[in-house]
Amino acid sequence: MRIQQLSELLEFIAKSRLDMKQLYSRLQRNADSTRVKMMLEYLQQHQQHVHDSIEDYIDEAPTRMLDTWYKDITFEDFKKRCDDSTLAANMNEDDVLELHLDLENRLIGLIEKTANSTAVTEIKEALLDLVRVERTQQKRLVHSALRMEDI
């Protein structure tokens, strides 16, 4: 996929979160473990929340920012990656976390790549703030998953 405007990037990231939610829903239906099902349910809710937050940002962001043009920002077919991702029915929490972090790191990498190719300081800082928020949420998720293992 080729991204030409900041608005396209943000819409793509928001849509990708729904693709991840759909993947987790599919995995949840196939999972054997109750704990894994709970984790997948949480991840679905989290993806919906992130999607909604990005959509809110798009609605509130100045048009001049959203209309910023980019050259040579390309990314994989993320929906296909989600559609093609599978885990065995006997998956465990680590399998789910590893898959989630892989997918999320791909999206964060895209945001970082876009930020690094942005000449406008205000937009670059906004994108890097988004990366920081994403990384913080990742750390919280990993800590929560580790605490879940202790229960």
**Lowest mean pLDDT, pick from 62-66, 136-140, 141-145:** 141-145
Question: Is residue 21 predicted with pLDDT exceeding 60?
Answer: yes
Using CB atoms within 10 Å of the CB of residue 143, give its burial: 0 to 12 exposed, 13 to 18 middle, 19+ buried: exposed
Phi and psi at residue 145, to the nearest 5°:
-65, -40
Strand partners, 3: 73
Q: pLDDT (tens digit, 9 = 90+) per residue, 95-117?
A: 999 999 999 999 999 999 999 99
The average pLDDT across 22-37 equals: 97
The average pLDDT across 86-99 equals: 96
Contact 88, 55 (CB under 8 A): no
Query: Which pLDDT score, from 0 to 100, does residue 88 have?
Result: 97
Strand partners, 74: 2
